[in-house]
Amino acid sequence: MLHPYEILFIWRVILKKLFISILSLAGMFLVIGVAYWLDNRMDALRVIAMAEFKMGTWLLPATAAHLVVAGLLLGWLWFIYSKDNDQRVIAILYILVGLGLLFYNYCAIAFSQQLTFLNAIMPKSMTSSVCAVVAIVGLHRLIFRKTSP
C-alpha cells in the first residue's frame, strides 16, 4: 500500500507533465492566432495604403509584424525544446494542426465549396509559414525523441 505522501508525489509529477504539455499546445495556438490576426490587419492596412498611394505607411507595420511573429515563434520553440517532455501525442497534434491549417484552403474548398471557418490562409502569409514550422517541429519531435529523462 502506498503512503499518502507517495500518492501526492505521483500526482504532482503527472500534473506537472500534463500542465507543461497543455502550455506548449496553448503556446502553439497563441503563435498561430497572433500570426493570423496580424495577417488580417496587415492586409487591411495594405489595401488602405494602396488606396491612398502611401505604401510607406504599410511597410513599417508589416515589417514589425514579421518581427513579432518571429519572436513569438522563437519563444515557443525555446519553451518546447527546453521545458516540454517528448510525448508522441503532442508531436502528432503539432503535425495535425500545422498541416490542417496549412491545407485548410484546399480542404474547405474541396469539401464545402466555401471557406466557412476562417478567412483564406494564403500560401505566402505569416500564418502559413508558422503552420509549416509547427508541422515540421511536430515531425522532428516525433522522429528524434529524447532518449534521456
pLDDT band with cut points at 50, 70 and 90 for residue 29 = very high
Structural domain that includes position 115: 4-143
Give me the pLDDT at residue 114, please: 62
- Minimum mean pLDDT among 5-14, 50-59, 65-74, 94-103: which range? 5-14
Condensed to tens digits (0 to 9), the pLDDT of residues 57-70 reads 778 888 899 999 99
The CA-based diameter of the chain, rounded to the nearest angstrom, is 77
Q: What's the chain's average pLDDT? A: 82
Greater confidence, 47 or 95?
95
DSSP class of residue 66?
H
Which pLDDT score is estimated for 149? 47
pLDDT at 113: 64
Q: Is residue 116 part of a domain?
A: yes
Calculate what percentage of the chain has a pLDDT beyond 70: 83
Average pLDDT over residues 4-25: 78
pLDDT exceeds 70 at position 34: yes
Residue of 148, 21, 33, 146 whose CA lies nearest to 92: 21
Q: Are 69 and 34 in contact (CB under 8 A)?
A: yes
**Domain assignment of residue 149, yes or no:** no
For position 148, what pLDDT does the model report?
46
Q: Is residue 148 part of a domain?
A: no
The total domain count for the chain is 1
DSSP one-letter string for 67-131: HHHHHHHHHHHHHHHHT----HHHHHHHHHHHHHHHTHHHHHHHHHSS--SS----TTSHHHHHH
